[in-house]
Amino acid sequence: MGIAQPPGDVVAQLQNAVRVSKRTKTVRVPQAFVRDLVRNEPATPLAQVMQGHGETRLKVLLTTLMMATAPPHAIKVRPKELAGMLGYREPDGAGGRRVNNAFKSLEELNLVHRDRPAGHVPNTTVLNPDGSGGAWDDTKLEPGHYVSVPIDFWKRGWIVVLSGRAIALFLILREATNGRKTSGTAWIPGTRKRQYVLSEDFWATAISELVEAGLLDVEARTFAYQGEPRRRNVYILHSDRVQQFDPGSAPAGTYAGIHG
């Protein structure tokens, strides 16, 4: 069936936000946002964002980060503006409240700080996405220690039509494949999979959606493990299709992997 195309007016709002941001390539988050390398916390910031109804929180956070280009990554934005560009119904009402509630949760997670002076547009500052609550400066990220999201994720409206789970898995696979510009291939052993701190149900649902959207293929391949052949799933992420296709027009992916 594929996925639906986003409304044209929503895409136009996103494209305008991208133009204002002056971003031309990617949006970066630290590796620690998606993957726990130290096991000091029970969940990664991404996993915490996704707890419960996390879709709005993730989309609001990523879109705010896209718009807040340079350090200190602060931007004045009304909830109804974000609601409109994310395709939520009633931006002036329920949609705006949905965004405002997402910001409140993100503040509790130390991912944003908001100043809301009476009668003025709220000023939102993105904090370090590693969850430390510190200032964010993506110019200090070292190669191999960040995850990048193509700017066409917003320009073509992928952020609108994909679920929060699918977007979260896209980030994870971008990390696992080292953010290759075209197709990236990754085998994710159990030890590494646990570092993403997300449930098996999450993986199954998100994989199905990315395959249906045409952004992912899954194959079963044989690897040698302790001298014995083992069949394992290999994930082939088609990041280039985010730039080549509008949502709903990419060829569907294939799942020829091991279920369960």
H helix intervals, the chain: 8-21, 31-34, 45-50, 55-67, 79-85, 94-108, 152-155, 158-161, 164-176, 190-194, 200-213, 240-244
Coil/strand/helix, residue 200: helix
Give Cα 173 to chain centroid, integer Å. Answer: 10
Q: Which part of the chain has CATH 1.10.10? A: 168-256
CATH 1.10.1740 matches 168-256 = no
Q: pLDDT at position 43, please?
A: 86
Pair 154, 66: CB distance under 8 Å? yes
Tens of pLDDT, residue by residue over 89-122, are 999 999 999 999 999 999 999 999 999 888 889 9
Coil/strand/helix, residue 216: strand
Indicate the average pLDDT of the chain: 92
Percent with pLDDT over 70 in the chain: 95
Tens of pLDDT, residue by residue over 200-210, are 999 999 999 99
- State which amino acid sits at residue 77: V
pLDDT band at 259 (very low <50, low <70, confident <90, very high): confident
DSSP structural state of residue 141: P
Residue in the block written with tokens 């290999």 = 234
Tens of pLDDT, residue by residue over 125-148, are 999 999 999 999 998 998 889 999
Tokens at 171, concatenated: 């980030």
Tens of pLDDT, residue by residue over 218-231, are 999 887 767 778 88
9-13, 151-155, 177-181, 186-190: segment of lowest average pLDDT:
177-181
Residue in the block written with tokens 């990236």 = 184
- CB neighbours of 8 closer than 8 A, spacing ≥ 6? none
DSSP structural state of residue 139: G
